[in-house]
Amino acid sequence: MANFAGRVVLITGASAGLGEGTALHFAKQGAKLALTGREKTRLDDVAKRCSECGIPADNIRTHCGDLTDAAFRKATIEKTVAKFARLDVLVNNAGLVFPGESMGMSEPQYDQTMDLNMKVPFLMSQLAVPHLEKTQGNIVNISSLFGARAMAMTGIYCVSKAALDMFTQCLALELAPKKVRVNSVNPGTVATPIFGREGSVLHGKDDEIKKFLEEQANATPLGRLGTPQDVAGAIGYLASDAASYVTGQILLVDGGRSCTFK
C-alpha cells in the first residue's frame, strides 16, 4: 500500500459513496485531507471516520458548499493551501445523474449535469494546477464506464463523462512537461447512495432499484457490483508514486463489464 504521509489530497463529493470510500482509503495511508460536500452532517461524519483511521483530526479540513459556485471553489483551494501549505492530489469525484430519456431531459437538468460532471472538474483543475506544479502532483478524475459505452436512459450523463475523459487526456498532454499527471478512473456500476436519493437513479423506488442492480451485477463478468473500496484502490494507485509513469489513462474498474459490449 502506498504511503501518503505528509501529502495533501483534496477530494470533491466526499460526503458519501465513492468520495467517502476514497477519503477513508487515503486516511489509512496517512494523507492530509481536504473534503468537500453539500451536506455538513454527512461530511463531518466522514471526517470523523477518517480521523478514526489514525490521522490527527487537525489533518482533515472540510469544506461544505456547492461546487458550482465560483466563490466556494476558489475558497476551497485557497483555504486548503493556507491550512496545509501545499496540494499534492486533486480527486474530482463530485457528480450526479438524472435518469430518463434524453429527449425528455429538461434544460436545467442538462445544465446541472454538465456543470457538476464536466465544468466543475475543469474549473477545479484550473485552480489547483498552479499548486500541483509546485509539488509535481496529479489529478484523478472520476468518470464512468458509460463515458465510453452508451447506456439508455442516462444519455446526458454519458455525454458528460465522455467529455470528462477527453478533458483528462488533453490536460495530461498539456501538463506532462510540468510533471503533473492527469488520469481518470471509470467505474462500472457501484452500489452507492446515488441510488435512491433525489435527482439520482430511479428516484428511490426500491423495487426498481433492486431489479436494476441485480441486472447490472448479472451483466458483470465477475458477477457482482463494484464497491467504493474497489474504486478507491484504483484512485490510490493512480495518485501514488507507483504510477509515476502513468498519465492520460482511462482506467476502467468495472469487473470486466466493458468486455461484454459489442
Which string of DSSP letters, residue by residue, matches 173-241?
HHHGGGT-EEEEEEE--B-STTBTSTTSBGGG-HHHHHHHHHHHHHTSTTSS-B-HHHHHHHHHHHHSG
Residue 142: phi and psi, rounded to 5, are -100, 110
For the chain, how long is the longest CA-to-CA vector?
51
Q: Are 186 and 250 in contact (CB under 8 A)?
A: yes
Q: Would residue 157 show up in a list of annotated catalytic residues for this protein?
A: yes
Chain mean position to CA 185:
8
Residue with cell 483528462: 168
> CA-CA distance, 147 to 46, in Å (whole number)?
28
Helices (H), 33-151: 40-51, 70-84, 107-114, 120-135
Q: Which residues are catalytic?
A: 157
